[in-house]
Structure 1
Amino acid sequence: MRRSITARLVLMFAAVALATFALAGFVLHNVLARELERHQYEELDTTLKSLQFWIHAIGSPERWARVQARMDTLTPEDGSVRFWVLSDDPRFQYGKGLAEIDGLTREANGHTSAIVLPGQEKPFRTLSVHIDAFEQRPAVRLIVGRNTEPYARTRQAFLTALVALGSGAMLVVAFMGYWIARVGLRPLERLSAEAQALRPKTLSHRLRSEPLPVELSALAEAFNGALHRLEEAYGQLESFNADVAHELRTPLANLIGSTQVALSRQRSAGEFQEVLQANLEDLERLRSIINDMLFLARADRGEVATGLVLTPVAQEVRKTIEFFEFVLDETRAHVAIEGEVRTEARLESALFRRAMSNLLQNAIEHSKPGACITVTLREEAADTWITVSNPGAPIDDQHLQHLFDRFYRVDAARNDRGEHHGHGLGLAIVKAVASMHGGQVCASSAEGVNTFGFSVSRAA
């Protein structure tokens, strides 16, 4: 199940708003509770001190009646404030339920406590003080109590208001968050609409990044970069398909034409043998093209060299040159090795020799008879480079970067004899072999010398 960015943003806005209002409500509720408690204590303390002053000066039972009358006056009708006087002398006692009060209040002077009286849902918060004996009055304990129910109702009302306000505010924030998300994502919707309008024939089109926000501008630039690479790959694919069709068409046409001519009239066994021999050469060419294409397809899928063995690079180069002795004698060319490399690299010998053979074959085919071909070995950092140089016509820089592409040829620049050799996959295979060994390729043309090479990583 896919969730939209708008829904996620709305949920995040609502969650943040809920957390914020919950934290603020918790703090405000605790502040209110402390203030109400402080207010209760101040009221109790004020009343307690006032009565304490009166009782302190009362020393006879006759005058005690005046204290009782004052406490009666201070006691409201709803009984939210109550007074108790505890004494060993019954004449100097006051209040209802003195026995229960005496059992619940044994604290030091001024200590507050909460006691639950019979018939009351909420406890009474109390404050007491000990008053020493005076004349006929023995020592007494004065207790002042206030019902906490009004304060509890206030806290409950405040909490209800906070919950209602927080819920309403969260809904408002969620609604505003939805509106903000929709407005904020409009550039993304426009960007998506432009991307959906792209077709294979319109790959040259690029997304507009100027009117976009900074965050989406970077995304558009990255997408445009991907479009550029896709356009290049698509162009290479079209060119590759055309080249493949061209390369396969010639040998197939030769096969069909020679076979049709052979079958057009009666021929001897020798004549049929000559036709089959010519057809076999074309079939070998087709098989070579197909095998090379399959190898490059595996390399494109990221296949790496297996069966790597620690091998002296110079030794493999010499063995490959020895394999070309017959071809070198035929063309009167010779190969010189420069820059002896004594280090070893982890190589798959068959692949390495294949790449080396392609470079030598390329140099021989595009050199005049009797030319001197130079193989240079050098080490750079963790790589070993093998380059093959041959005298030849200069190659423009615009072609150098494409020479390792499949089926890419610069016939006028790379074939002095005007002959058509190979099928345009040799250097592409060199690049694939280098990549499978963690290396790279290079090409240069200067002062009548063309150089092609590849590297292998010694740590591959």
Structure 2
Amino acid sequence: MKHSIAVRLAGMFALASIVGFALIGAALHHVLVRELARHQNDQITNRIADISYVLEHARSPGLGERMRQKLDALESAGPRTRVWMWSKDPAFQYGTDVSQMLGLVRDNSPGAEVDIAGNKMRLKSRTVPANDLWPEVRFAVGVDSQPFISTLHAFEKALLALTLTGTCLAAALGWWIARLGLAPVERLSADAQRVGPGNRAQRLQLPSLPRELADLGMSFNQALDRLDAAYHQLETFSDDVAHELRTPLANLIGQTQVTLARERDAGELREVLQSNLEELERLRAIVADMLFLARAEQGAKARSRVDASIADEVGKTVEFLDVLLDDARMTVEVRGDATAPIETSLFRRALTNLLHNAIQHSTGGAEIRVEIVKAADHARVRITNPSAPIAPEQLARLFDRFYRVDTSRPNSGENHGLGLAIVKAVAAMHRGEVFAEYADGRATIGFSVSLN
């Protein structure tokens, strides 16, 4: 089971808090240990300085006895402070196990921790040289470390409690912040869930989204627009396919039923079969064109491309349509030329469809003009012919499958409305595009191919 983003962010906040508290705690712990040790050493150093001053500057013959009294007072005043003193003169000997204690530390050492009767003590010693009144005296001062250790343990417990509490608070705060920050995402999700087949016009409310999600919302709305257009096109395509297939199928069924209604001679049967063959050829053409468009929409590219003269290809296509042009008393004028990498069979198919379209929708005796324009990265083929007025909204749909500007035009039933859609597919397979214009009683329809 995957956790929500809010839970993940809360966990990240908690982890970051643990790391932060751990680093800060380690630094504070290090500082506290160092400061406690320094405080102990300062206490020991002060005691050593006091004792050394007396031993170095006093001249009284009874100094040994006075020193023992002073050390008794010092230990009784501060039970956590111990002093040991040793000398060849018994008057300057103080404390139990003096030799052992003095052996644990060296003169002017920074302080060593030893275990004395179950208590940890920090010791430091010093030697006062002999003078004319008494021999060399060595002494050590120890301070009980237990209060410092207790302080350190209390700090560690407080730090642990603070870390756990701070981590929980950071996790809770992180979860709350994440929930608050993800509220626009939840609104985005709610808007998206309302989009459905019966509510395709529903879109995300962009003004209510923060800036970081506005681009995502806009992209999502654009994707919905494309899906809506594709859905609408699919609905229209299904209707158009059913309509286009229904007519030849109805013709086939009707003619066959009429033929079977009574006895027919061989000549009549041959005529019916000939008529049925024409309808079957039309069905085959529709199916073949639909399969070609399906492959093109799946991303098929023109693979067998060769550098060829576009004017030559136009000439070969015009020659192929020579009979149709003669019947319509039309001529074709070719202007310009360009060499482009094309798959000649696909290119000629697009030219054939465009020229056939121009022949069908022009009056007899008109001239069709083919212009070839070369640009920096593409070549354009423009086919212009006299035409009845075409509205701008109709120009935008000329390359849709099964679309006809006017189904009442002559010969509109002889084609199935896929010719210009195939032109668009061929252009896309050559990394080009299609275009359609109408001005001054002439329609210009064409396509481009990439030169790269």
TM-score (normalised: structure 2): 0.91
Q: Which residue of 2 aligns with 1:249?
A: 246
Q: Which residue of 2 aligns with 1:392?
A: 387
Tell me if the contact between 1:59 and 1:135 (Cα under 8 Å) persists in the aligned partners: no
TM-align CA RMSD: 2.5
Distance 2:115 2:77 in 1: 17
Q: Which residue of 1 aligns with 2:129?
A: 132
Q: Which residue of 2 aligns with 1:21?
A: 21
Residue in structure 2 matching 1:440, options 433, 437, 446? 433
Aligned pairs, number? 452
Distance 2:322 2:204 in 1: 57
Distance 1:116 1:310 in 2: 96
1:30-429 to structure 2, matched below 5 A, reads 30-58=30-58, 62-75=62-75, 80-85=80-85, 87=87, 91-107=91-107, 109=108, 111-120=109-118, 122=120, 124-341=121-338, 343-345=339-341, 347-411=342-406, 417=410, 419-429=412-422
Q: What is the Cα deviation at residue 247 of structure 1? A: 0.7
Q: What is the Cα deviation at residue 170 of structure 1? A: 1.6
Distance 2:450 2:384 in 1: 21
Local SS of the residue matching 1:134? coil
Offset from partner CA, 1:150-177 (integer Å, 9 cap, x none): 2122111111111112112222332333
AA of the residue aligned to 1:116: V
Tell me if the contact between 2:87 and 2:137 (Cα under 8 Å) persists in the aligned partners: yes
Distance 1:234 1:433 in 2: 23
Q: Which residue of 2 aligns with 1:4?
A: 4
Distance 1:340 1:186 in 2: 60
Tell me if the contact between 1:58 and 1:137 (Cα under 8 Å) persists in the aligned partners: no
1:431 aligns with 2:424: yes
Tell me if the contact between 1:58 and 1:64 (Cα under 8 Å) persists in the aligned partners: no
Offset from partner CA, 1:212-249 (integer Å, 9 cap, x none): 44444444333322222222221111111111111111
Of residues 176-185 and 398-407 in structure 1, the stretch that sits farther from structure 2 once superposed is 176-185
AA of the residue aligned to 1:316: E
Local SS of the residue matching 1:116? strand
Q: What is the Cα deviation at residue 183 of structure 1? A: 4.2
Distance 2:362 2:397 in 1: 20
Tell me if the contact between 1:114 and 1:125 (Cα under 8 Å) persists in the aligned partners: yes
AA of the residue aligned to 1:273: R
Q: What is the Cα deviation at residue 79 of structure 1? A: 5.9
Offset from partner CA, 1:336-370 (integer Å, 9 cap, x none): 221222x342x222222221221111112111222
Q: Which residue of 1 aligns with 2:444?
A: 451
Offset from partner CA, 1:374-418 (integer Å, 9 cap, x none): 222222221122222212123222222221111122117xx8646
Distance 1:349 1:94 in 2: 117
AA of the residue aligned to 2:243: H
AA of the residue aligned to 2:417: G
Of residues 141-150 and 64-73 in structure 1, the stretch that sits farther from structure 2 once superposed is 141-150
AA of the residue aligned to 1:426: G
Unmatched runs of 5 consecutive residues or more in structure 2: none
Tell me if the contact between 1:60 and 1:135 (Cα under 8 Å) persists in the aligned partners: no
Local SS of the residue matching 2:143? strand
AA of the residue aligned to 1:47: R
Local SS of the residue matching 1:255? helix
Q: What is the Cα deviation at residue 261 of structure 1? A: 0.9
Tell me: CA distance 1:100–1:428, structure 2 relative to 1, closer, same or farther (3 Å): farther
Local SS of the residue matching 2:413? coil
Tell me: CA distance 1:114–1:257, structure 2 relative to 1, closer, same or farther (3 Å): same
Tell me: CA distance 1:419–1:289, structure 2 relative to 1, closer, same or farther (3 Å): closer
Distance 1:353 1:68 in 2: 123
Offset from partner CA, 1:305-340 (integer Å, 9 cap, x none): 223334343433333233222222222222222122
Of residues 309-318 and 195-204 in structure 1, the stretch that sits farther from structure 2 once superposed is 309-318
Tell me if the contact between 2:203 and 2:221 (Cα under 8 Å) persists in the aligned partners: yes
Local SS of the residue matching 2:444? strand
Tell me if the contact between 1:438 and 1:456 (Cα under 8 Å) persists in the aligned partners: yes
Distance 1:113 1:313 in 2: 99
Distance 1:450 1:165 in 2: 81
Q: What is the Cα deviation at residue 36 of structure 1? A: 1.8
Q: What is the Cα deviation at residue 265 of structure 1? A: 0.7
Distance 1:105 1:90 in 2: 21
Distance 1:71 1:323 in 2: 129
Local SS of the residue matching 2:300? coil
AA of the residue aligned to 2:171: A
Local SS of the residue matching 2:3? coil
Tell me if the contact between 1:59 and 1:137 (Cα under 8 Å) persists in the aligned partners: no
Q: What is the Cα deviation at residue 91 of structure 1? A: 5.0
Of residues 237-246 and 352-361 in structure 1, the stretch that sits farther from structure 2 once superposed is 352-361
Tell me if the contact between 1:10 and 1:181 (Cα under 8 Å) persists in the aligned partners: yes
Local SS of the residue matching 1:337? strand
AA of the residue aligned to 1:368: T
Local SS of the residue matching 1:411? coil
